Amino acid sequence: MNKGCLIGGGIFLAIVVGLGLWLMGGYNSLVNSDENVKKSWANVESAYQRRADLIPGLVATVKGAVGAENKILTDVITARASATQMKIDPANLTPEKLAEFQASQGQLSQALGRLMVVSEQYPQLKSIDGFNSLQSQLEGTENRIKIERDVFNAEVATYNKQVRSFPIVLVAGMMGFDKKGSFTADAGSSKAPKVDFNNETN
């Protein structure tokens, strides 16, 4: 075997090894970003679950103080049931699935917003320690939800940027790494809910 063949073989081997290392590095980078998204998603779900866990106590407290089975309480219970049933596989965080999840949670947020107006219509609720505690915990949870959503969006943005960037896009396409969805502003989130208790029926 002449010297030229050895040099050529060495160059070819170096290219193959270099390409293999590059593919491995690109794949590992995508896996890392994907895992960060999944971890952030778990934190989002945890925050939403905490809110769902607070709702039964809040509804019971309001119902006990007001002594009325009004439509707002029913709406909250129904919206909570719908929101807690909506589950997404973290490996399938498509824009469409995330939009469905957000819509379901948004309906619960709106129902809760209307329920919280009860405290203004029924001052006696404010004198109940349990109500004040639940209200405070709920407000803290809403803040946590926003924080976790923002973190999730940041992780998704980093991941999506990698998936779409050349030359990593070549690895992403071969290995099945697809673009993921992120949260957007809730429809009507800038408007406070309007409630007219005079029209509520017991």
Using the 8-state DSSP alphabet, how is residue 186 labeled? P
Residue 22: pLDDT band with limits 50, 70, 90: low
Residue 114: pLDDT band with limits 50, 70, 90: confident
- Rounded to the nearest 5 degrees, what angle is found at the Cα of 157, between the Cα atoms of 43 and 144? 30
- What is the rounded CA–CA span in Å between residue 202 and residue 138? 26
Mean pLDDT of the region 121-145: 84
Residue 103: pLDDT band with limits 50, 70, 90: very high
Which of 128, 141, 9, 7 minimizes the C-alpha distance to 60? 128
State percent of the chain over pLDDT 90: 33
- What is the rounded CA–CA span in Å between residue 50 and residue 43? 11
| Cα dihedral sign, 143-146-152-155 | negative
What pLDDT is stored for residue 7 in this prediction?
63
- Rounded to the nearest 5 degrees, what angle is found at the Cα of 88, between the Cα atoms of 82 and 89? 155
What pLDDT is stored for residue 200 in this prediction?
42
Mean pLDDT of the region 54-66: 84
Residue 125: pLDDT band with limits 50, 70, 90: confident
Within 4-85, strands assigned E span: none
138, 51 Cβ separation under 8 angstroms? yes
Residue 31: pLDDT band with limits 50, 70, 90: confident
Between 10 and 41, the higher pLDDT residue: 41
- Between the alpha carbon of residue 85 and those of residues 52, 80, 105, the distances in Å are 11, 9, 10
